Amino acid sequence: MRAGSLSRFIFAVSVAAASVMATDSITILLMITVAIAALLVWGKDPKSVIRVARLVVWLIAFIFVLHLFSHPGQRLFSILFLTATLEGARTGLFYGAKLVAFAYAAYIILLTVDPFELTRPLERAARYFGPTGRLISSFALSFSLALRFLPDLSRESRMTRLAFRTRGVGFDGGMVKRARVAVQLVGTVFVNAFKRAESTSMALSVKGYATRYAKATFPPLRLSAASMFVVLISVMILGLGWRS
196 neighbors 152 (Cβ within 8 angstroms): yes
Burial readout 86-118 (b: 16 or more C-beta within 10 A, e: otherwise):
eebbebbbbebbbbbbbbbbbbbbebbbbbeeb
CA atoms within 13 A on the CB side of 140: 24
Q: What is the pLDDT confidence band of residue 204, given thresholds at 50, 70 and 90?
A: low
d(CA 168, CA 237): 50
Q: SS3 of 70, please?
A: coil
d(CA 215, CA 124): 11
Closest among 103, 154, 164, 140 to 218, alpha carbons compared: 140
pLDDT digits (tens, 9 = 90+) for 64-92: 888 888 888 888 888 877 888 888 888 88
Q: What is the pLDDT confidence band of residue 220, given thresholds at 50, 70 and 90?
A: low
pLDDT of residue 140: 67
pLDDT digits (tens, 9 = 90+) for 165-189: 777 766 666 667 667 777 777 777 7
pLDDT of residue 174: 67
d(CA 219, CA 4): 14
pLDDT digits (tens, 9 = 90+) for 84-143: 888 888 888 888 888 888 888 888 887 777 766 777 766 666 666 766 766 766 666 666
DSSP string, 148-216: HHHHHHHHHHHHHHHHHHHTT----S-HHHHHHHHHHHHHHHHHHHHHHHHHHHHHHHHTTGGGHHHH-
Q: How far is CA 83 from the centre of its chain?
A: 34
Does the global pTM surpass 0.85?
no
